Amino acid sequence: MDRREQVLGIIYAALESLNAELSEDRQVEIGPTTALFSPDAALDSLSLVSVIIDVETALTMEWDAPISLTDDRAMARAISPFDDVGTLTDYILELLAEVSPA
């Protein structure tokens, strides 16, 4: 499994974990284009926080290094890493390249 697939798997797992807590009518569709934080997003702010924490925790455990998705760098970007699953994956791959070059 390449690193992108690995990261996608972690994000999907976080979204599945979120869905387990949501009612049937609030289920989030899971895929590479799933909107996370945009006008089209199905997630409310608390749900997004929940996903971010799950993803951060999983990344930290997997790569054995503290990885923060919400530092100043993320917030300063013209295109938010949290727009959708794809932008989040790209951003995580950038961070991982710093702590553990592929």
Partner 1 sequence: MDDLVGRYVGRTALVTGSTRGVGRLIAEHFLAQGASVIGFARSPGTITHPAYQHVEVDLADPMAIQKAFMGLHKSAGRVDIVVNNAAVLTSQYAMIMPPGAAQAMVNVNLLAPFIVSREAAKFMRKTKWGRIINIGSMAASLEPIGDSVYAACKAGLSTLTNVMAKEFGAMNVTCNTLAITAIETDMLSQLPRDKIDLIIAGLPIPRFAEPADILNAIDFFASEASSYITAQTLYLGGVN
Q: Which residues bind partner 1 (CB under 8 A)?
A: 46, 50, 53, 57, 60-61, 64, 66
Nearer to partner 1 (CB atom), residue 60 or residue 86: 60
CB of 53 to partner 1, least distance (A): 5
CB of 79 to partner 1, least distance (A): 27
What CA–CA distances, in Å, run from 4 to 11, 21, 81? 11, 26, 15
CB of 65 to partner 1, least distance (A): 8
Nearer to partner 1 (CB atom), residue 29 or residue 71: 71
Task: Return the number of other C-beta atoms located less than 10 Å from residue 23's C-beta.
Answer: 7
Nearer to partner 1 (CB atom), residue 66 or residue 101: 66
